[in-house]
Structure 1
């Protein structure tokens, strides 16, 4: 009788392979909640595994290191923001400032999408590793796609300046909650901010 090779610790068995997507999703959701509640520094792979009801080795199997788990959690939380470049791609450039401003503000105004964003931003502000992951996601998934559509020599700088305007506004309004910006009507913010974003993207 031949012996089967021992299964690697934490790797899903063949019988449970059909459940792998659900297990992965459960780990990812637990990671997002742990990072939200504890921040990057105080979150551990062991804590994520406990919250998801799995062995820590299984977290490593699906995602790798804590940094990689965090990157996956960011991608999940930032999924709505990742659609921002479409507001540039799907219409004329002369109205892109308002479309982009309205889209980004809408994501932050929605409580369902604002909560995970707040958690991720707080982790990125307080930890260098989390900040590096955050920058990488924003640069590759949002800014470069914006820049490609502009087709200008300094397109990347333009996209970054527009993003800085929008991210800065979001930080002051939703994270730091500086008044009167925190309580201002969203339409008033769009009216004031959109021309500035438009100028960064297409101005001289």
Structure 2
């Protein structure tokens, strides 16, 4: 498993309706993308959930490197780069995964479609920690895996590591608002593509 994210920070007065429409129009294009565990189409809205910025920040869990490469070198990422400029793409090696209590039920969406108007808003959290020189990376990963939330609202949670920076990331998707005691940046989920999520094994990935 490979985790990936890019962040596109937008002007303070940017109309996020433009991003919502973009996702509504194009989000389904990755619903069957080979090698993709999930893509969460994430936004942060200035002044909401403590966010100081407007931001479009999709987060991916890839099952295969081939799937990740075909996206990065394909028309979808080219189109995004043409519209917003080519963003820096963060990448972490997957260390573990936890499925929620009902993993086969798709997370709901904050789509503006009337068909989903009664659905519970889905949120996401991302918490990153830099490991110090005194930290044992294996022990830090084990602790992070042990601390993955066992919560009835959890949809999916992942732990991954960037060994170039020795940065550990914990990412979680929630059905409804994220619990107050979960640390990290909070996002709204506009759409969730999850073509091969059920093929990502739970537990430790080594």
| Fold-level similarity (TM above 0.5) | no
Structure number with the higher strand fraction is 2
Q: Per residue, is there more helix in 1 or in 2?
A: 1
TM-score normalised according to structure 2 size: 0.22
TM-score normalised over the length of structure 1: 0.22
Higher relative contact order (CA 8 A, sep 6+): 2
